[in-house]
Structure 1
Amino acid sequence: MDCAIGLDIGGSKIAAGLVFEPGKCGSVTIRPSAPSSESEMYERVRECIGEVIAKSDIQLERIAGIGAGSPGLIDREKGLALFSNNLPWRSFPLSEKLQEDFCMPVLLDNDVCMASYAEWYHLGGKKNETFVFMTVSTGIACSIIHNGAFFRGAGMAGEIGMNVEEEDGDGTFIYRTLEELASGSAISEKVKAFSGKLIEEKMELFDYLLAGEQAKETEKMIARLAKSVYSIICTIDPHRIVLGGGVINRNRRLAAEICRALDGYRSLRNEPISKRISVSALKDTAGLTGAGLMLLHSLKE
């Protein structure tokens, strides 16, 4: 088998493509998600995969299978998309439906795990280190690879976006999650308000936010993200942390500001905290690349 189909399902878009060793991808297709309808969401996934196959010149028998990444809680053994804040699926039999429609093996896992695998593999896939990939996108989450294997805990390790943050609401504390306060969804309305001006002036989003009236709120957002990265470092002391996801990929100023904030925190090592942090090398293709590679590598094993 020459390649696999990598599928990256998100709250705002679906991406699929052919994935070849050692991580190259082609025939990439992107479609918008349908987060309000279970059946329509799956239909868009199916159409996305069908379009990848249709526009590639590779024969079906040379495709090893489909690696699929979906957000939230996954039952990998049963192939179920159990729950996600950003998708309509509840115990949805994603693997079974894909196998029926495309007649090939399917490997299902969490979408952040798939992206993490791709970034880890791209950096050499070292099996004697602890590696963390953190995504800031429609949602916020991280994935941990320790000694060459995923650390999953009881099944939801890495859901850092669910961390509780406090907001002072006129003398009373309002408890909201990190994802509610600092994800792509949290800033989407702000983007809509001045997207025309950003395009006109060719400015990066966080340059605009930090220079304007919303600077104070933006600084709070950056501080919350930096604090979350710092909590990861204090808890598991990873050798590497890669920051990715749509918000990071399109706003490198944000990654730089997170690192600047981190270097103000205490460290027991005689080096800046930011030294172990980098930004995604694979950017928007990380999820589908990791999904395809995991399928190929699982078949070899």
Structure 2
Amino acid sequence: MTNISLADPSGRPIRVGLDVGGTKIDAVAVDASGRIIGRLRRPTGWGDDAVVESIVLAVAALADENSFAISEVGSVGVGIPGLVDAGAGRVDHAVNLGVESLDLAARSEEVLGVQFRVENDVKAAALGAAALNGVAGSMAYLNLGTGVAAGIVIDGQIWRGSRGTAGEVGHLSVDPRGRLCGCGQHGCIETFCGGGALTKAWGRPGALPIKDLFDAADAGDPLALSLRNDLYHGAAAAVRALVLSADVETVVIGGGLTALGERLENGVRAALRAGAEASPFMRSLRLDERIELLPAGSPAAAFGAALVGASITEKEIVSHG
């Protein structure tokens, strides 16, 4: 990973990274060599005060469980959904957390006395995935979860583009006659391979609707087969868009749908091969060989947040989905 130093001149060698989701916080502690020395998960609160409190408690619990003092923490990086002003440390419109506008860094620093930096969760995950996968050149991170979002990392740096939306393919329309997307367009990539859109189209109750959908497809259910093919088609379209627009060497796929493991990976690879059959140019790109799945339980998002905390940020606004 270039352009990021985990050493701290003030003698605080530990960096903490927090991946803040709608229901839980994944927290890691990273030492000066870049090694993860502790990890825990805690529930996330709802609303401004509860979110700040849950973040502070996660840092304190991480320190307590791994026998280091808060005074040894040089920085805390937070990856969080919503519209993020990285320079100001503020997050807006984090609807799944009950947050409209929150000066997250300032409020957390006031309690702990540690420097906080805030980044969009998918951008932080992209940075972490690049570091953990040892990517030295260019990489796109494709997050397949409730929604679809992506981030691009080049030479150890998040590439944002002119307005912070570089790599965001979830709301690229690939079928103007397709299902209505929450963004108001029809046939967005997210309507094909976003967990929320698929669950809605599946329309059957269950604790794990996408797994249920795959199981039903294996049993020959016509609707399940159609929706599973949609997922493969949409994920393959996202990979093509990322590679053709940014010429990244690798697309790392993460997010909740990666719990499907080989059932997802093999299907996306097959869809990429099928889509390239009629085109010598597309076959030459070998897209099916350029995708990787993050392993289940990967700490990429929290680790990326720790790297964000250790880096120098400029005042930028990034968002997704």
TM category (shorter chain) comes to 0.7 to 0.9
RMSD: 3.0
2:103 pairs with 74, 93, 96, which one? 93
Letter of the 1:76 partner, please give it. Answer: A
Pick from 158, 163, 168 the counterpart of residue 172 of structure 2.
163
Aligned to 1:208: 215
Which residue type is aligned with residue 273 of structure 2?
Answer: D
> Contact 1:95 / 1:107 at 8 angstroms: preserved in 2?
yes
Structure 1 runs (4+) deviating above 6 angstroms are none
Mapped to 2, the partners of 1:60 and 1:12 lie a distance apart of: 25
| 1:1-301 correspondence runs (5 A) | 1-34=12-45, 37-84=47-94, 86-126=96-136, 129-153=137-161, 154-164=163-173, 166=176, 175=186, 177-187=188-198, 193-195=205-207, 207-212=214-219, 213=221, 214-266=224-276, 268=281, 270=284, 272-281=286-295, 283-298=297-312
Please give the TM-score of this superposition, normalised by the length of structure 1.
0.82
Looking at structure 2, the residues matched to 43 and 178 of structure 1 have their Cα atoms a distance apart, in angstroms, of 36
Percent identity, please: 22
Residues 12, 138 of structure 1: 8 Å contact kept? no
Cα distance, 1:43 vs. partner?
3.0
Q: How many residues align?
A: 288
Structure 1 position 285, deviation (Å): 1.0
Offset, 1:34? 4.6
Counterpart AA for 1:193:
P
Q: TM-score, normalised by structure 2?
A: 0.78
Q: How far apart are the structure 1 equivalents of 2:171 and 2:17?
A: 27
CA–CA separation in structure 2 for the residues paired with 1:206 and 1:19 = 38
Alpha-carbon contact 1:249-1:280 (below 8 Å) kept = no
**Partner Cα separation in structure 1 for residue 254 and residue 230 of structure 2:** 20
**Alignment CA distance shift 1:195-1:70 (3 Å):** closer
Deviation, 1:133, is 0.9
Distance change in 2, residues 1:121/1:231 (3 Å): same
Asked if 1 retains the 8 angstrom alpha-carbon contact of 2:77 and 2:308, the reply is yes
Q: 1:8 to 1:92 in 2, by over 3 A?
A: same
C-alpha distance after superposition, 1:79-114 (max 9, x if no partner): 111234544323311111111111101121111121
Of stretches 81-90 and 92-101 in structure 1, the one that deviates more from structure 2 is 81-90
Kindly tell me: are residues 140 and 21 of structure 1, through their superposed partners in 2, closer, same or farther at Cα, counting changes over 3 Å? Answer: farther
